[in-house]
């Protein structure tokens, strides 16, 4: 918990719920980055990032781990579940959060793409691929067995515990 009194514009966190954060201003220059470091850091074809001034950003639960991907930059992630959460240049007043870790990823729309020299060429065809809905792809019996361990897409009380702690 923090003594923060400002109202968050955007909130987010990792998959397990150990680390949560809040943005107290709208992000600027939301972008995707295809560079090889971003691909590796998120384990995907590109990183989608929402930058905000560090003075408008607070880690509201837990503390992320950090990996220095170069002498100039740090990448934050949850040490428990591995979710990539943030990126920042050491000398910058800005921190960027990953769009996928936002509670409402659709609330931040990329305006620019960087690192296009590493862009995977199959991205051009993604929009034309067959579209399937996750819930209809899973057989009913399997769906009935499933217990989700992912933190919900909103802030939870300080005493909230991940469901899997009981299952272990």
Nearer to Zn ion, 33 or 99 (CB): 33
Q: Determine the interface stretch with Zn ion among 3-11, 71-79, 122-130, 139-147 (rule: CB under 5 A).
A: 71-79
Look up residue 58 and give its two tokens.
């607070």
Q: How far is the CB of 32 from Zn ion (least distance, A)?
A: 9
Reading phi first (left if > 0) and then psi (alpha if -120 to 50, else beta), residue 78 is in beta
Q: Site size for Zn ion, by CB under 5 A? A: 10
* Closest to 30 in 3D by CA, of 101, 93, 98, 91: 98
Backbone angles phi, psi at 87, to 5 degrees: -140, 135
**What is the C-alpha separation between 53 and 51, in angstroms, rounded?**
7
Q: From the CB of residue 121, how many other CB atoms can be counted at a distance below 10 Å?
A: 6
Q: How far is the CB of 14 from Zn ion (least distance, A)?
A: 3
- C-beta of residue 164 within 8 angstroms of C-beta of residue 20: no
Strands 112-114 and 31-33: parallel
Footprint on residues 81-100 left by Zn ion (CB under 5 A):
81
73 part of the interface to Zn ion, by CB under 5 A:
no
16 part of the interface to Zn ion, by CB under 5 A:
yes
Q: How far is the CB of 143 from Zn ion (least distance, A)?
A: 24
Footprint on residues 24-53 left by Zn ion (CB under 5 A):
33, 35, 38
Nearer to Zn ion, 10 or 85 (CB): 85
Q: How far is the CB of 64 from Zn ion (least distance, A)?
A: 9
Residue 79, helix vs strand vs coil = coil
* Sites of contact with Zn ion (CB under 5 A): 14, 16, 18, 33, 35, 38, 78, 80-81, 115
């Amino acid at each position: 918990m923090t003594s923060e009194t400002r109202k968050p514009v955007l909130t987010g966190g990792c998959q397990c719920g150990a680390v949560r954060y809040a943005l107290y201003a709208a992000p600027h220059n939301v972008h995707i980055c295809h560079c090889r470091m971003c691909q590796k850091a998120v384990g995907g074809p590109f990183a989608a990032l929402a930058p905000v001034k560090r003075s408008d950003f607070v880690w509201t639960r837990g503390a992320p781990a950090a990996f220095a991907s170069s002498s100039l930059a740090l990448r934050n992630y949850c040490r428990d579940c591995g979710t990539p959460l943030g990126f920042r240049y050491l000398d910058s007043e800005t921190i960027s959060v990953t769009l996928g870790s936002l509670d409402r990823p659709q609330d931040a729309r990329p305006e620019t793409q960087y690192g296009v020299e590493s862009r995977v060429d199959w991205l051009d065809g993604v929009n034309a691929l067959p579209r399937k809905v996750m819930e209809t792809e899973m057989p009913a019996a399997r769906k009935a067995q499933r217990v989700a361990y992912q933190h919900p897409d909103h802030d939870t009380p300080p005493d909230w515990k991940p469901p899997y702690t009981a299952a272990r």
